[in-house]
Structure 1
Amino acid sequence: MSYLQLNQPLVVAKVHSLVTDTLANTICFNEIMKKLNGLYYPFMNHFNIELFYSKPALAFLNSTQAIVGDIYPENVIWDHDKTQRFINILSCYKNDIENERQAFIYQEAQNKRELQHYVSSLINHYSRLLFIRIDLKYAKETSHHVTIETFNDHMSKFRELIGNKKTCFEYLQGNAWALEQGDIKGGLHCHLLLMYDGSQRQSDWYLAKEVGEKWKTITGGLGEYYSYHDKETKQCYERNGKLGIGMIHQNNPAEVENALCTALYLTKPEKTEQYLKLKVPGMRTFGHGQFRTSKRRGLPPISK
């Protein structure tokens, strides 16, 4: 793929990776120089001051600007001297980058505890729940049309549908979602967990397909999805004693434990390279439904 064909999220992901690899000394000098010449112009061409960028991406911006100043990006050539200066200046941002990484780990740990409590509450409340896990993403051949603003818009519309609880979301009792970005290919995606009333919904494969097709409709055909509910995938999990999707019975400890493990995949503090490298202001990257609501039967009234 030509560097000029990189879309906005992918070029930022590659810049992020270049900075972290440079600081970790896992990339040679000539490769840094080559990537600078390939990435600087498309990064500056896509740069939007209204978006929030990761610390490595900002370190790239500040370091390169300190060297080339107001020279038009298309006229900049990264030679040996400029590249060495880039490496030297970049080291000034090492602490900022590490602090952001630690903040991500802390927040993910918080999210994990919160999600575990939420899912456990639902399991304890219903005798059986139908667990659906799918990943929402974009087709490789159309991903160049997708910006972070597009992704945010699609996710907002999709969450609104979930909240309405109509069509394929009828009898939905719980949900959780996490937005991520691939560390190498830079692909934007969403890990989605849906929990339905098991007395009303039974076919997990069919539901997963309906939800995935809903995502494709919302994205105008740009989206695709991965379902964990085909027969072969479920049999593989079952053989390994790790099947945590489909019908989960409250009185089956093994099913409950596996279901919790499935849910908690959405919040893994060790996935430090999977967070979004750029965001729209106010953009949420993780969320779940509420357990205590006025519409949930069998709970004491919510005091006013």
Structure 2
Amino acid sequence: MPYSHLNQPLVVANVHSLVTDILANTISFNETMDKLNGLYYPFMNHLNTELFYTQPVLAFFSSTQAIVGDTYPENVIWDHDKTKRFINILSCYKNDIENERQAFIYQESQNKRELECYVNNLSNHYSRLLFIRIDLKYAKETRHHVSIEDFDCHMRKFRELVSNKKTCFEYLQGNAWALEQGGVEGGLHCHLLLMYDGSKIQNDWYLAREVGEKWKMVTGGLGEYYNYHDKKTKQDYERNGKLGIGMIHQNNPIEVENALRTALYLTKPEKVDQYLKVKVSGMRTFGHGTFRTAKRRGLPPISK
């Protein structure tokens, strides 16, 4: 990958991976030196003090600055001596990086419990729910145009459409979403779960496509999506006894169990390499709708 063409999220993802590889001793000295020479200038060029970075990225910045100081980034050459010093200094941040990793695992565990309760409440309330799973992302050929600020803006606009419950969101009864970022490829994406009233709407493939097209509209054509609801994909899941999308019937325990498993993919504590490496201030990376509404049977009215 030509480092000079990396955009902000991609260069940050590469820096994050470099640091974790160094601390895990899974990268050679020469490869480290090559990557430092490729990544340092684009990283400094994209650096924005108003954004929030992961501990590995902060460790990269602090360690490099301790060595090269105020030298113009384009003039910095990472030779054998500088690279060795960088690796030595980086080890001082190992505890901070591990603490952040553990905090992520704990938060994902909390999110998992919260989402499980939410989905169970909905499944227990509706006799039929249409489960839609779709991944919202950016086309490979255009994602270098997308910054973390763009992603945050696109997601806010998209969630507003979901909340308005118009067009393809009309019969929506529940939703959950999780923002993630790939490893070295650095692709920003959203795992989305939508749960519709199954007595009102049935065509899951068509509905998923409509949702995906809304995402493309919000992103101005930069976005693309993965629709899990084509016939072959669903048949593969069904063959393996794991079909948890489409129409889920409350009186079918296997369907309900599979649907819950599908939902909980959004919150997997073991996916420690998938969290965002850079964030906008106040940016949420996980959320779901509210179950308690005045319309639901057996619940006291909501005070205003």
Give CA deviations for 1:129-157 in whole Å, capped at 9, x if unaligned: 00000000000000110000000000000
Q: Give the Cα–Cα distance (whole angstroms) in 1 for the partners of residues 295 and 47 of structure 2.
A: 45
Is 1:25 the counterpart of 2:14 in the alignment?
A: no
The answer for the alignment partner of 2:42 in structure 1 is 42
SS of the residue corresponding to residue 254 of structure 1 reads: helix
The answer for the alignment partner of 2:108 in structure 1 is 108
Cα distance, 1:302 vs structure 2: 3.0
The percentage of aligned residue pairs carrying the same residue is: 83
The answer for the alignment partner of 2:7 in structure 1 is 7
Give CA deviations for 1:246-289 in whole Å, capped at 9, x if unaligned: 00000000000000000000000000000000000000000000
Q: Give the Cα–Cα distance (whole angstroms) in 2 for the partners of residues 112 and 14 of structure 1.
A: 28
Q: Give the Cα–Cα distance (whole angstroms) in 1 for the partners of residues 202 and 299 of structure 2.
A: 24
The answer for the alignment partner of 2:124 in structure 1 is 124
Using the size of structure 1 for normalisation, the TM-score is 0.99
SS of the residue corresponding to residue 140 of structure 1 reads: coil
Paired residue type of 1:31: E
Q: Give the Cα–Cα distance (whole angstroms) in 1 for the partners of residues 222 and 280 of structure 2.
A: 20
2:294 and 2:300 in contact (8 A); partners too: no
Give CA deviations for 1:169-207 in whole Å, capped at 9, x if unaligned: 001000000000001210000000000000001000000
Give CA deviations for 1:92-145 in whole Å, capped at 9, x if unaligned: 000000000000000000000000000000000000000000000000000110
The answer for the alignment partner of 2:195 in structure 1 is 195
The answer for the alignment partner of 1:265 in structure 2 is 265
Paired residue type of 2:30: N
Give CA deviations for 1:16-74 in whole Å, capped at 9, x if unaligned: 00000000100000000000000000000000000000000000000000000000000
How does 1:163-174 map onto structure 2 within 5 Å?
A: 163-174=163-174
Cα distance, 1:296 vs structure 2: 3.4
SS of the residue corresponding to residue 195 of structure 1 reads: strand
The answer for the alignment partner of 2:292 in structure 1 is 292
Aligned length: 304
Q: Give the Cα–Cα distance (whole angstroms) in 1 for the partners of residues 82 and 225 of structure 2.
A: 43
The alignment's C-alpha RMSD in Å is 0.8
2:40 and 2:73 in contact (8 A); partners too: yes
Q: Give the Cα–Cα distance (whole angstroms) in 2 for the partners of residues 85 and 171 of structure 1.
A: 59
Cα distance, 1:303 vs structure 2: 5.2
Give CA deviations for 1:221-267 in whole Å, capped at 9, x if unaligned: 00000010000000000000000000000000000000000000000
How does 1:153-232 map onto structure 2 within 5 Å?
A: 153-232=153-232
Cα distance, 1:299 vs structure 2: 2.8
2:4 and 2:42 in contact (8 A); partners too: yes
SS of the residue corresponding to residue 104 of structure 1 reads: helix
Cα distance, 1:297 vs structure 2: 4.7
Q: Which runs of 5 or more structure 1 residues have no equivalent in the other structure?
A: none
Q: Which runs of 5 or more structure 2 residues have no equivalent in the other structure?
A: none
SS of the residue corresponding to residue 67 of structure 1 reads: helix
Q: Give the Cα–Cα distance (whole angstroms) in 2 for the partners of residues 277 and 267 of structure 1.
A: 17
Is 1:82 the counterpart of 2:94 in the alignment?
A: no
Q: Give the Cα–Cα distance (whole angstroms) in 2 for the partners of residues 133 and 43 of structure 1.
A: 34
The answer for the alignment partner of 1:58 in structure 2 is 58
Q: Give the Cα–Cα distance (whole angstroms) in 1 for the partners of residues 184 and 203 of structure 2.
A: 35
SS of the residue corresponding to residue 141 of structure 2 reads: helix
Cα distance, 1:298 vs structure 2: 4.8
Is 1:133 the counterpart of 2:128 in the alignment?
A: no
How does 1:140-155 map onto structure 2 within 5 Å?
A: 140-155=140-155
Q: Give the Cα–Cα distance (whole angstroms) in 2 for the partners of residues 151 and 99 of structure 1.
A: 27
Paired residue type of 2:194: L
Q: Give the Cα–Cα distance (whole angstroms) in 1 for the partners of residues 77 and 248 of structure 2.
A: 59
Q: Give the Cα–Cα distance (whole angstroms) in 1 for the partners of residues 89 and 293 of structure 2.
A: 52
Q: Give the Cα–Cα distance (whole angstroms) in 2 for the partners of residues 137 and 299 of structure 1.
A: 37
The answer for the alignment partner of 2:301 in structure 1 is 301
